[in-house]
Amino acid sequence: LSRNRPTSSTDLGDGDLSIRLDVAIRSQSSRIHAAIRSSIVDGVLRPGLKLPSSRGLAAQLGMRRNAVVTAYEQLLSDGLIMARHGAGTFVAAQLPVPPKRLRPAFDCEPKPRRAFELGHTVVDGTLLKRLGTALARHVINASPEHLGYGDPRGSHRLRCQIAEYLAQRRGVRTDPACIVIINGTQHGLRLCIDALLARGDVVWMEDPGYYAARTTFLSADLKVVPVPVDEHGMNVPHGKLRATGARAAYVTPSHQFPTGVTMSIERRVALIHWARESNAWVFEDDYDSEFCYTGGPLTALAGLLHDRVVYLGTFTKTLFASLRLAYLVLPPQIVESVVNARAAHDRFPALFMQKALADLMADGKLGNHVRRVRRRYCEARDTVAAALTNASDGILDARVPSYGLHLAAYLPMDASRHAAGEIRAAAGVETRLISENRIARAGPDGFIIGFSGHPLHELKAAAMRLGQSAADYFRRG
């Protein structure tokens, strides 16, 4: 509204009438229209109030009468004013009550990054330049069919590249026809929910688990049943006892979020059996297995059982979060319903960035980048783990993960419920607590430490502060 831009205030001396003209609006009629409209919508001009005649208002504003007439006509079409023959022009009697708050209740401004925050990565300028050049090339050379509506699954070439990568690195054999490009993991989950589940259905969720996935399930009116995670991953027998009739299970088997454990083969087999027997779906979120520091990554669940597993992969970790490119790998029998859900949702994904990304994959640049940053992340992981252990005199149990971009550092089992929060506050570091990712609220607490995308010296300093603060806390008793 004009109130957000520079305004010149003009209070009209006509009873209660007061409007503010926005000098940034060039046309006189639009300026008058916008000023009266905001005053009516904001409740400054009350329903039933008589407006000045067009001649009178033009004289007061020093503007053309025609401009006022045009503005009044526009306000009449908007339904904001009404004309009564012979009596004049009035603010409409029936108007919605203005909303109290126009600003969103949450703060969506990006904040400067701080050590330990999750969701950051390293992308060097050369790779960004390549991506930008490829993007520009595709836009500049776009043929007419690339400017219209497209396949709800996304770029065929990118899906072929992903299928090749999955077969080579994750043991997942799929046809590119079964891959759907999405705008991030939560978007993919939402599409699967729309296609496969109904309101009130029960979903198993790892506890502690990925808060964002839980938000997606809850926002779709699903019932989330927490299933505890131990050193073997999700405790499937426990899930069967609590809710054997669940329709789906969400898991991060390669590198559990946030504990970092890898799901054992026994648990994988148990999960697969349960899914088969109950005709349930497994949502396998394989968000960071490209970063495997020892040996090769375990075969994905979708590589073991591909008729009940929906696999979710993302480029958020291999490249960067604001790219918003991820993918679903679907069992063939549900492709049609998920594609229909996608078409109903937002039709299809934006094309050109997908094409540029397919280029980076095809010429091996993405693979080279991952190998390069993996070495840096590995060094960061070890530096942070050592600093946490040393500075805390061994009080913090920093578990060095074989995968991924974060680690979990635990407090002793007998620490009080408030210990982690108090240690974090005293250290002044940005870290999520394990308890903040719990649903059932029982179990050991500690810190989730993101070690990617931050300068090494900042990571080390933050780890020293957190370790020191933990040591002080326990020394004080």
Ligand X SMILES: Cc1ncc(COP(=O)(O)O)c(C=O)c1O
Q: Which residues bind ligand X (CB under 6 A)?
A: 118-119, 184-186, 210, 252, 257, 285, 287, 314, 316, 321, 326
Taking CB atoms, the residue at the shortest distance from ligand X is 184
Q: How far is the CB of 131 from ligand X (least distance, A)?
A: 17
Q: Which DSSP string do the residues of 173-224 spell out, in sequence order?
A: ---GGGEEEESSHHHHHHHHHHHH--TT-EEEEEES--HHHHHHHHHTTPEE
Q: Strand 309-314: give its sheet, edge to edge.
A: 179-182, 326-329, 309-314, 281-285, 248-251, 202-207, 223-230, 233-234
Residue 74 or 316 having the CB closest to ligand X: 316
Residue 232 or 324 having the CB closest to ligand X: 324
CA 303, CA 174: separation in Å to the nearest integer?
Answer: 9
Residue 213 or 419 having the CB closest to ligand X: 213
Q: How far is the CB of 285 from ligand X (least distance, A)?
A: 5
Q: How far is the CB of 186 from ligand X (least distance, A)?
A: 5
CA 373, CA 119: separation in Å to the nearest integer?
Answer: 15
Residue 263 or 326 having the CB closest to ligand X: 326
Q: How far is the CB of 255 from ligand X (least distance, A)?
A: 8
Q: How many Cβ atoms from other residues are within 10 Å of residue 100's Cβ?
A: 5
Residue 72 or 315 having the CB closest to ligand X: 315
Q: Which of 409, 406, 410, 408 is nearest to 451 (CA)?
A: 406
Return the structure tokens found at 291: 């970063």
Q: How far is the CB of 404 from ligand X (least distance, A)?
A: 9
Q: How far is the CB of 187 from ligand X (least distance, A)?
A: 7
Number of H helices, E strands in the chain: 15, 17
Buried b (16+ CB within 10 A) or exposed e, 223-241: ebbbbbbeebbbbbebbbe
CA 33, CA 39: separation in Å to the nearest integer?
Answer: 10
Cis amide linkage into residue 208, ω under 30° from 0? yes
Residue 81 or 263 having the CB closest to ligand X: 263
Q: How far is the CB of 219 from ligand X (least distance, A)?
A: 14
Q: Which DSSP string do the residues of 272-317 spell out, in sequence order?
A: HHHHHHHT-EEEEE--STT-B-SSPPPPPHHHH--SSEEEEEESTT
Q: How far is the CB of 125 from ligand X (least distance, A)?
A: 22
Cis amide linkage into residue 98, ω under 30° from 0? no
Residue 305 or 323 having the CB closest to ligand X: 323
Handedness of CA 191, 195, 200, 202 (dihedral sign): negative
Q: How far is the CB of 171 from ligand X (least distance, A)?
A: 20
Residue 92 or 321 having the CB closest to ligand X: 321
Q: How far is the CB of 123 from ligand X (least distance, A)?
A: 14
Residue 285 or 359 having the CB closest to ligand X: 285
CA 431 to chain CA mean position, Å: 18
Residue 303 or 453 having the CB closest to ligand X: 453
Longest CA–CA separation in the chain, Å: 88
